[in-house]
Amino acid sequence: PTHVKAAKQEKYMRSLIQATPAYELSIDITTSAHGHSLRLISFVPTARRPEDQVKFQGVFSTAELKSLRDALNQALAPEADRLIQ
């Protein structure tokens, strides 16, 4: 019998959140069949050996990421909008 390997379906996104000459913070999200892997990564370009440092990581469902998005949106909403919710 012929075995066919399924193509690996992953989407990858990395966005810079905060940057100064001495420090960078980015978010890395990889989506696969297992869920969404989210990592917060710091980088210190002035370090003796600069390299990415994972500060937080976890695997989340789409619903969990939507909850996180909703919480961030609520925190960023004007105060009048927050009182309504």
Instruction: Give the confidence band of 10 by pLDDT, cuts at 50, 70, 90.
Output: confident
Q: What is the pLDDT of residues 34-58, one digit of tens each?
A: 999 999 999 999 899 999 999 999 9
Quickly list H helices, 1-85. 62-76, 79-84
Residue 2 has pLDDT above 70, yes or no: no
Side-chain-side CA neighbours of 65 within 13 Å: the count stands at: 14
0.85 cut: is pTM over it? Answer: no
Please report the pLDDT score of residue 51 as a whole number.
95
Q: Is the pLDDT of residue 4 over 80?
A: no
